[in-house]
Amino acid sequence: MDDNVKKIMHVMRRAPHGSIYTYEGLEMILIMAAYEQDLSVAFIGDGVYALKKNQNTDGISMKGFAKTFMALDGYDVEKLYVDRVSLEERGLTEDDLLVDVELLDSAEIGRRMTEQDVVIHH
């Protein structure tokens, strides 16, 4: 692999809308995607809420951005990992999510984390 291609994992850990971290994290991912790095995105803890279907932010007068996760595929960001435990303890299933993801055990996501050159939590 090219020396200048880095493995960069973005870890979404916050629920959307209560703070801007998920949204500005997504902006960062979109820019980095243009640089043809080896990107992946992991959804852990409240981060899984970012992918919840049927978010409608009209009532809080904020821009919605859930659907932008659906566009990641078009930017060749295809490695989306969701922590199974995080999803389950929130009473959610894959059917509740907007996009196709790999549902993984924590240990497996942990293994993929250690392979990264850079890990950024949002």
- For residue 1, state whether it binds another protein (rule: CB under 8 A): no
Site for another protein in 17-56 (CB under 8 A): 17-21, 24, 27-28, 31-32, 34-35, 37, 44-46, 49, 52-56
Closer Cβ to another protein, 73 or 105, answer by number: 105
Q: From residue 114, how far is each of 26, 61, 84, 122 by CA, in Å?
A: 22, 39, 19, 18
Amino acid identity for residue 55 in this structure: Q
DSSP SS3 for 11: strand
- Which of 49, 39, 38 lies closest to 87 in space, CA to CA? 49
Residues engaged in binding another protein (CB under 8 A): 4, 6, 8, 13-21, 24, 27-28, 31-32, 34-35, 37, 44-46, 49, 52-64, 66, 85, 89-91, 106-107, 109-111, 113-114, 116-121
